[in-house]
Amino acid sequence: MTLPTVDGLRFVTVGQDDALAEPLMAELAVEYSTRYGGTPATVTSWLRSFPAAQFEAPTGGMLIGLVDGTPVTGGAFCRFDEHTAELKRIWTHSGHRRRGLARVLLVELESAIVERGYRRVYLTTGDRQPEAEALYLAAGYTRLPEPLPADGDVYPIAFAKELQP
Q: Encode pLDDT of 113-127 as tens digits.
A: 999 999 999 999 988
Considering the domain boundaries, does residue 4 fall inside one? no
Tens of pLDDT, residues 56-105: 999 999 999 999 999 999 999 999 999 999 999 999 998 999 889 999 99
Considering the domain boundaries, does residue 131 fall inside one? yes
CA–CA distance, 65 with 76 (Å, rounded to integer): 12
What is the residue range of 22's domain?
A: 9-162
Counting the structural domains of the chain, the total is 1
Considering the domain boundaries, does residue 147 fall inside one? yes
- For all residues of the chain together, what is the average pLDDT? 91
